[in-house]
Amino acid sequence: MTNMRQAFVIMQIGSPEMDTVYQDAIVPALKSCGFNPKRVDKHNEGRLLKSEIVGFIESSDIIIADLTNERPNCYLEVGYAMGLDKFRNLILTVREDHNSDSPNYKKGGPKIHFDLSGYDILFWEKNNLIGFKEELEKRVRRRLVTLAPYMPTPVSSWDEEWISNHKKAALSELKKSGKSGFMEIRMTLPDLNLNIAQGELLRVANQAQIHTFGWPLGVVLNREEYRPKSKTDGILAEIDIKDKRRSTYDYWTIRRDGTFYLAKSLFEEAAGKSDYIFFNTRIVRITEALLYSFRLYSSLNVPPDSRILIGIRHGGLKGCVLRAVGKRDLSYGYKSDEDEVYNEVETTFEKIESDLVDIVQKFTQPLFVVFDFFELDRKVLEDIVNNFVAGKVT
């Protein structure tokens, strides 16, 4: 069930260009800020449109009004919002050629009407909707600060107490096992309130495993001492194996609301290279984590446009040297003075599928840079990610 604040979008309806602006920029910007976007042609309930528009304006915390193409109804709705004293909730946008100071402005063409020309307006260009989305998101977040006395204070999407308890248990046992390095993964669905039975969680966790690279994340074993256990709030598995063939520690849990936590020892340490971090192994593991989340939550029938928050931490890095494993080579000894690196990315499941390489890079760049400013060539990153998706490790 969603629990998002509502935003209403006023704009020209029936224009393919404006539909693209809505879908590619306005909707993702609002969702990223925790809003459920509404547009009257897409979300009306069959009543008189004027009454529905009034209802949306009155009930929305943020109102985006795009003035492109001088639509009279848009100006009318902006005026109504101002009449309700909701100017502080209102963000105005328009295509940049409506600005009389723009080199693309055409005399006699569409423009911003005089009565709104003095207001702060966000201009967008059709060939840079990514930039428009990013700036709109910033403005919405800034507006939330100004509205703070009138709106509930946003709370963390994470259940920090729950995560802290599992982190404390996992890292304590990992330390006892003699391992210093670890990878920690956390995932949550900030807009959904799932309630999944333990048996179903076990089934989807088993299906979500990816066996392309060694011991999979969220590994499900059948031996009594290692198999996942049913808990009142979900399922939990703890695996501590010490032998010549395999030495690994894995701790993972899935709560009934879909929140996921994992801590595991590093492959590098199991391979007898505790003073190394293999850059291609880290790329593979991060790629696996993203694909695991996609498989896990898809099996739980989570809608593809749902937001997911993913945090990944690497620890035990201080003094380690960045290297490569397998056929790849990295001769220079890039060394880390930092012991831990944590990064958090908010995305959607459809973006994980379409923008996988970009999201992997968002996690790897802050990890690699602490190793003497190391920057990985984008083509190398793409090659490693694409090969893993194809079932190969390079």
Residues 78 and 165 grouped into a single domain: no
Establish if 155 belongs to a structural domain.
Answer: no
Q: Which domain holds residue 372?
A: 160-389
Residues 169 and 109 grouped into a single domain: no
Alpha carbons 351 and 26: distance in angstroms, whole number: 16
Query: What pLDDT does residue 2 have?
Result: 41
- Which amino acid makes up residue 264? K
Based on its alpha-carbon atoms, the radius of gyration of the chain, rounded to whole angstroms, reads 25
261, 289 Cβ separation under 8 angstroms: no
Domain end marker among 150, 183, 208: 150
SS3 40: helix
Domain end marker among 150, 168, 202: 150
Residues 203 and 292 grouped into a single domain: yes
346, 221 Cβ separation under 8 angstroms: no
Instruction: Residue 167: name the closest of 182, 156, 179 by CA.
Output: 182
Establish if 32 belongs to a structural domain.
Answer: yes
Residues 168 and 96 grouped into a single domain: no
Residues 48 and 134 grouped into a single domain: yes
Q: Which residue has the tokens 């609002």?
A: 30
pLDDT by residue for the chain (394 residues), tens only, comes to 345 789 999 999 999 999 999 999 999 999 999 899 999 886 544 443 466 788 889 889 999 999 999 999 999 999 888 888 888 899 999 999 999 888 988 888 899 887 776 688 999 999 999 999 999 999 999 998 877 665 554 557 899 999 999 999 999 998 888 888 999 999 999 988 899 999 999 999 999 999 998 889 999 999 999 999 999 999 999 999 887 666 889 999 999 999 999 999 999 887 778 899 999 999 999 999 999 999 999 999 999 889 999 999 999 999 999 999 888 888 778 999 999 999 999 999 899 999 999 999 999 999 999 999 999 999 999 999 999 999 988 7
289, 236 Cβ separation under 8 angstroms: no
Q: What is the CATH number of the domain that holds 77?
A: 3.40.50.450
Render the burial of 84-116: b for 16+ CB within 10 Å, e for the rest. eebeebbbbbbbbbbbeeeeeeeeeebbbeeeb
Residues 115 and 173 grouped into a single domain: no
Establish if 348 belongs to a structural domain.
Answer: yes
Residues 27 and 174 grouped into a single domain: no
Structurally, the chain folds into a number of domains equal to 2
Residues 127 and 169 grouped into a single domain: no
Domain end marker among 121, 150, 179: 150
Residues 105 and 176 grouped into a single domain: no
Establish if 332 belongs to a structural domain.
Answer: yes
Establish if 259 belongs to a structural domain.
Answer: yes
Query: What pLDDT does residue 55 have?
Result: 81
Establish if 216 belongs to a structural domain.
Answer: yes
Residues 174 and 136 grouped into a single domain: no
Residues 23 and 170 grouped into a single domain: no
Query: pTM value?
Result: 0.64
Establish if 114 belongs to a structural domain.
Answer: yes
Residues 77 and 203 grouped into a single domain: no
Query: What pLDDT does residue 244 have?
Result: 63
